[in-house]
Amino acid sequence: MAEIILDKVSKSFGSVRVINEVSLTIQSGEFVVFLGPSGSGKSTLLRMIAGLETIDDGRLLIGGKESQTLPPGQRNVAMVFQNYALYPHMTVRDNMAFGLRNIKMAAPEVERRVQDAARMLEMDALLDRRPSELSGGQRQRVAIGRAIVKEPAAFLFDEPLSNLDAALRVRTRVELAELHQRMNSTMIYVTHDQTEAMTMSDRIVILNDCRIEQIGTPMEVYTRPASRFVAGFIGSPSMNFLKGSYKDGAMTLLDGSRIAARVAVPEADTYELGIRPEAVKVCEGEGEGDTKGQVKVVEHLGERTLVHVHLSDGSAIVAQDGGRSPVQPGDEVALRFDISELHLFDASGKAWHAE
């Protein structure tokens, strides 16, 4: 268990800067997810911690030890790869023991650790099989087992669930969360799947364009996104954005409707109003809403219904209705905004939240 500190680390590939002065402290025992779209630098950052990529500038402290120049094997971290990278010609046991044998650990100790890990992951029976004889989920476990036996200061996961089918992914997610609670070890987990991030992490680090956009607990990033990017990236279906201008505590949208907004923005200007679908309600009667529009598509999801509406100026908005919504495509509906969940974003993407 160790604290990991990134202090203004940077990296370039040739002249392209891929990580720019990132600073971050990961507490001992914390489960941190790096979340971001592809190309955001999240994997690079993880690999810099692992030692698979160089750190051009800045410092990396793992358990208080300067590690930015250490070779990967000596950083006391273990990594689970996206494709697991199980050595196909070795049995499960040999796969797990390979790293330990490489540091010339005594055979009984190696065997003990392998057995312990196997027991913990409930795969004692698989030890003598080869990876090709395992299912996807089992391979995943072996990959984790291979990390566990090293008893590392931190676990690094590089999109480890992306090769599993949907059902297995959900189950493994829960198992991973359990594992984290049981082992209470530092874990860094890279994914582009916000559900994984939201469900498993203590904190989420959202990366975009080689920078950290926001660091926070899942609820923080959901309810108080620091930027337009985070607001749009987190949540499914994603937040609605409507262009308009703010003046004196109200937003005027392009279709002319005015929406009260208690937001402490510095000055009157054009802003984007952001509101999540669950904060937009379809009204029963006409004239009650903040705005109105024509229903284009209705998606019944069971416990709720998503209603895609075009406002009169043509901008699209998604509203959420109850599970048994009677709304039909073509209907004219009024929409009411829950103004306590309003966000405004200025041209640079900075966010202000409703008070």
Partner 1 sequence: MLRNTRRETLVALVLISPFLAIYGLTFVYPTVAMVNLSFTDAPLIGPGQWVGLDNYTRLAGERRFDTAFWNTAYFVALSVIPGTFVAMVIALGVSRLTGRMQALVLALFFLPYILPVSVVYRLWDWTLNFQFGIAMYVFDIWGIERVPIFKTTTWFMPAVAFVTIWWTCGFSILLFLAGLRAIPAEIYEAASLDNTGRWTMFRRITWPLLWPVTALVTTIQLILQLKIFDQVYLFSTGGRPNDNLVLVYYIFQRAFVNNQGGRAAAIAVVLFLIVVIVSVLNFQLMRLAERRK
Partner 2 sequence: MTASSARQINLVGGIITLLTLIIAILWAFPIYWGIVSSLKPENEVVRPYIELWPETLTFEHYIFALTETQIGRWYINSIATAVGATILTISTSMLVGYALSQLRFPLRRPLYWLILASFMVPTQTLIINHFVLVANMGLLNTWAGIILPQLINPVVIIVYKQFFDQVPRDFREAAVMDNAGEFRILFKVYMPMNWGVTTALAIVTFIWSWNSFLWPFLAVTKTEMMTITVGITQVSDAFGVYYASQLAAAVLAGLPVALAYLLFQRRVTQAITLSAGIKG
Q: Which CB, 52 or 354, lies closer to partner 1?
A: 52
In the complex, the residues that contact partner 2 under the rule CB under 8 A are: 50-52, 71-74, 77-79, 81-85, 87-90, 98-99, 102-103, 146
Q: Which stretch binds partner 1 (CB under 8 A): 48-56, 147-155, 224-232, 340-348?
A: 48-56
Residues of this chain, 62-81, that bind partner 1 according to CB under 8 A:
71-72
The closest of 1, 3, 12, 2 to 58, measured between CA atoms, is 12
**CA 188 to chain CA centroid, nearest Å:** 11
CB of 83 to partner 2, least distance (A): 5
The closest of 282, 284, 323, 318 to 302, measured between CA atoms, is 323
Q: Which CB, 53 or 213, lies closer to partner 1?
A: 53
Q: Which CB, 146 or 173, lies closer to partner 2?
A: 146
158 lies in the site for partner 1, by CB under 8 A: no
Backbone angles phi, psi at 214, to 5 degrees: -160, 145
Q: Which CB, 77 or 231, lies closer to partner 2?
A: 77
Residue 89 binding result from partner 2, partner 1, none, given CB thresholds of 5 to 8 Å by partner type: partner 2
Residue 53 binding result from partner 2, partner 1, none, given CB thresholds of 5 to 8 Å by partner type: partner 1
Residue 354 binding result from partner 2, partner 1, none, given CB thresholds of 5 to 8 Å by partner type: none
41 lies in the site for partner 1, by CB under 8 A: no
User: How many residues are given for the chain?
Assistant: 355
Q: Cβ neighbours of residue 170 under 8 Å, at least 6 residues apart? A: none
CB of 49 to partner 1, least distance (A): 11
CB of 352 to partner 1, least distance (A): 42
The closest of 149, 52, 163, 135 to 94, measured between CA atoms, is 149
CB 269 within 8 A of CB 305: no
The closest of 1, 5, 50 to 26, measured between CA atoms, is 5
Continuous H helices in 226-319: 228-233
Burial of 22 (0-12, 13-18, 19+ CB in 10 A): buried
Q: Which CB, 51 or 218, lies closer to partner 2?
A: 51
Size of interface with partner 1, in residues (CB under 8 A): 6
Q: CA 328, CA 282: separation in Å to the nearest integer?
A: 12
CB of 259 to partner 2, least distance (A): 50
Q: Which CB, 54 or 181, lies closer to partner 1?
A: 54
Q: How many C-beta neighbours within 10 Å does residue 341 have?
A: 16
Q: Which CB, 75 or 343, lies closer to partner 1?
A: 75
CB of 131 to partner 1, least distance (A): 23
The closest of 43, 7, 316, 54 to 189, measured between CA atoms, is 43
CB 282 within 8 A of CB 325: yes
272 lies in the site for partner 1, by CB under 8 A: no
